[in-house]
């Protein structure tokens, strides 16, 4: 079988991830962090702190940042967007966004937040950066963006966005779900207000893990309130970073597994991960573009992650994906990928697309097999 659905979740994980989870669950020595001063609680707390330090190393964070762990990037984005953006604020965002960004923003719109969207070109999906200035209003306070499209694999020009936000004094919230662990994400300049990540994609962690890297000086309204193990007599959730995001018991075993995945990436080097994807792209892209009747969407002139969307003639994407699974045992993702606006930009709102997405465990032989399968299907 061939697994080409890594943009959804990585099925193949490094052995160290499972071992780290098992160690926590089987040792009988790990308790509840910040819920006691005994050895069991302190060991759990130490595991969490080590994982936070490794996240900071991955993102090149300075002392102005801290880290909070969540269940995934969807939870992280809801906490950040609803915790930072106030009624009356204007938000500039993009047509690349996943519903994990769009739906919270649409909720905030009902509460008096105004939204403006940067469009994309067809068929490249390239972002229309030249329209950003015109979309600004006196109310614009935030820029919310996906670092890489989970449909086209295009990577945002983050340095350009940072400069734009600094010039116009905008807060910057970045969804790095598709880029964390796949390409370098550098927060060392302190411009990004918050970056939200998930553990189960290119960080190779367990499902149900993720987090927030956020400036310590951010003023956050808590989205989830409850016990923090310390300020028990206060009626409201303490607002300090990162505790404002950390009500309730942490997923210590999952975070230990996530940390093992992050260390795996740090040991190999993010540059090596990106280079591997470039090798696969050099095989996949020109070969697929040469197949008659196949449309491959995306901008292939600049940086990208290992995500590729295509269509075979006018065939429904779900039918093609089903043939790939039933005949060739290849797992792909059809349809809309929870990103409706980019599909409208690409003209695929009816047909959808078939998405191939590769990981560090995808081989050149896997990619050549995918190309051959697409060649066979196109000839039908």
Question: Are residues 182 and 281 part of one domain?
Answer: no
Q: What is the CATH number of the domain that holds 165?
A: 3.40.640.10
- In 3-state terms, what secondary structure has residue 61? coil
* Residue 353 near residue 310 (C-beta atoms within 8 A): yes
Question: Are residues 319 and 297 part of one domain?
Answer: yes
- Helix, strand, coil proportions of the chain in percent (round to 5)? 40, 20, 45
Region for 208 from its dihedrals, namely left if φ exceeds 0, alpha if ψ lies in -120 to 50, beta otherwise: left
Lowest-pLDDT range of 164-168, 206-210, 350-354, 376-380: 376-380
pLDDT tens-digit map of 129-153: 999 999 999 999 999 999 999 999 9
Tokens (6 digits) for 342? 């980019």
Q: Which of 217, 249, 268 lies at the terminal end of a domain, its last residue? A: 268
| pTM of the full structure | 0.96
Question: Are residues 280 and 236 part of one domain?
Answer: no
Question: Are residues 324 and 234 part of one domain?
Answer: no
Q: What is the CATH number of the domain that holds 289?
A: 3.90.1150.10
The total of other beta-carbon atoms located within 10 Å of residue 144's CB is 27
pLDDT tens-digit map of 100-114: 999 999 999 999 999
Whether residue 119 has pLDDT greater than 90: yes
Rounded mean pLDDT, 81-98: 98
pLDDT score recorded for residue 15: 98
Q: Which of 268, 297, 326 lies at the terminal end of a domain, its last residue? A: 268
**First-to-final CA distance of the chain:** 22
Question: Are residues 151 and 280 part of one domain?
Answer: no
Considering only CA atoms, which of 331, 274, 11, 12 is closest in space to residue 155? 274
Considering only CA atoms, which of 176, 152, 197 is closest in space to residue 298? 152
Considering only CA atoms, which of 306, 76, 52, 60 is closest in space to residue 175? 76
Q: How many structural domains compose the chain?
A: 2
How many helical (H) and strand (E) elements, i.e. helices and strands, does the chain have? 11, 12
Considering only CA atoms, which of 78, 86, 124, 125 is closest in space to residue 104? 78
Domain range for 364 is 2-9+270-379
pLDDT tens-digit map of 152-193: 999 999 999 999 999 999 999 999 999 999 999 999 999 999
* Residue 306 near residue 150 (C-beta atoms within 8 A): no
Cβ partners under 8 Å of residue 331, min gap 6: 1, 2, 3, 4, 5, 11, 324, 325
pLDDT tens-digit map of 211-233: 999 999 999 999 988 877 667 78
Question: Are residues 191 and 292 part of one domain?
Answer: no
CA atoms of 174 and 197, how far apart (whole Å):
9
Q: Which long-range contacts (CB under 8 A, 24 or more apart) does 225-234 make?
A: 228/34, 229/32, 229/34, 229/35, 230/34
Please give the full DSSP string across 236-258, using - where no structure is assigned. Answer: S----TTGGG--S---HHHHHHH
141 alpha-carbon distance from chain centroid? 23
């Amino acid at each position: 079988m061939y697994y080409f659905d890594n943009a959804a979740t990585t099925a193949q994980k490094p052995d160290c991830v499972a071992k780290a989870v098992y160690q926590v669950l089987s040792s009988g020595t790990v308790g509840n962090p910040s819920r006691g001063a005994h050895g069991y609680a302190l060991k759990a707390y130490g595991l969490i702190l080590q994982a936070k330090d490794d996240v900071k190393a991955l993102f090149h964070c300075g002392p102005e940042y801290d880290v909070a762990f969540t269940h995934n990037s969807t939870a992280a984005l809801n906490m950040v967007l609803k915790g930072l953006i106030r009624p009356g604020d204007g938000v500039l965002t993009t047509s690349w966004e996943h519903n994990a960004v769009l739906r919270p923003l649409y909720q905030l719109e009902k509460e008096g937040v105004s939204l403006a969207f940067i469009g994309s070109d067809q068929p490249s999906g390239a972002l229309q950066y030249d329209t950003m200035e015109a979309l600004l209003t006196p109310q614009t306070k935030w820029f919310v963006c996906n670092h890489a499209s989970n449909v086209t694999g295009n990577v945002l020009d983050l340095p350009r966005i940072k400069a734009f936000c600094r010039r116009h004094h905008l807060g910057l919230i970045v969804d790095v779900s598709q880029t964390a662990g796949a390409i370098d994400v550098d927060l060392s300049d302190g411009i990004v207000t918050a970056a939200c990540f998930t553990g189960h994609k290119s960080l190779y962690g367990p499902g149900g893990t993720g987090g927030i890297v956020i400036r310590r000086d951010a003023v956050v309204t808590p989205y989830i309130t409850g016990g923090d193990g310390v300020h028990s007599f206060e009626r409201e959730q303490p607002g300090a970073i990162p505790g404002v995001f950390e009500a309730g018991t942490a997923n210590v075993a999952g975070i230990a597994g996530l940390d093992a995945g992050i260390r795996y990436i740090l040991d190999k080097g993010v540059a090596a991960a990106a280079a591997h994807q470039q090798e696969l792209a050099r095989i996949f892209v020109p070969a697929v573009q040469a197949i008659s009747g196949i449309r491959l969407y995306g901008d292939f002139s600049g940086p990208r992650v290992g995500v590729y969307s295509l269509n075979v003639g006018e065939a429904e994407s779900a039918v093609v994906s089903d043939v790939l699974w039933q005949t060739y045992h290849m797992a792909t993702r059809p349809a809309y990928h929870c990103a409706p606006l980019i599909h409208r930009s690409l003209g695929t709102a009816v047909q959808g697309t078939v998405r191939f997405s590769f990981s560090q465990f995808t081989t050149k032989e896997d990619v050549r097999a995918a190309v051959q399968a697409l060649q066979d299907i196109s000839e039908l």
